[in-house]
Copies of this chain bind each other. A is one copy, B any other.
Amino acid sequence: MLLSKSCMYGLRASVLLASRENAEFVTIRELSDELNISFYFLTKVLQQMTKANLLESYKGPNGGVKLAKPAGEIRFMDVVIAIDGLKSLNECALGLPGCGVMKPCPLHEQWSALKTDMLNMMESITLKQLSIHERTAKASDQTIDIKNRINTFFEPN
Contact = CB atoms under 8 A, between A and B. Distances in A.
A30 to B, nearest CB: 19
Contact of A97 (B5, B88, B114, B155): B155
Contact of A94 (B8, B91, B102, B121): B8
A57 to B, nearest CB: 23
Which label, helix, strand, loop or mixed, suits the secondary structure of the A interface?
A: helix
Given A93-B2, A94-B12, A157-B97, A106 B118 contact: no
Contacts of A102: 155
A106 B107 CA distance: 30
Q: How many copies does the complex hold?
A: 2
Interface stretch (A20-28, A46-54, A64-72, A127-135): A127-135
A125 interface: yes
A47 to B, nearest CB: 20
Interface in A74-104: 76, 88, 91, 93-97, 102-103
Given A95-B157, A96-B155, 19 more contacts: A1-B1, A1-B88, A1-B95, A2-B91, A3-B93, A3-B95, A12-B94, A76-B107, A96-B153, A96-B157, A102-B155, A103-B152, A105-B153, A106-B131, A106-B137, A106-B153, A107-B130, A111-B121, A114-B114
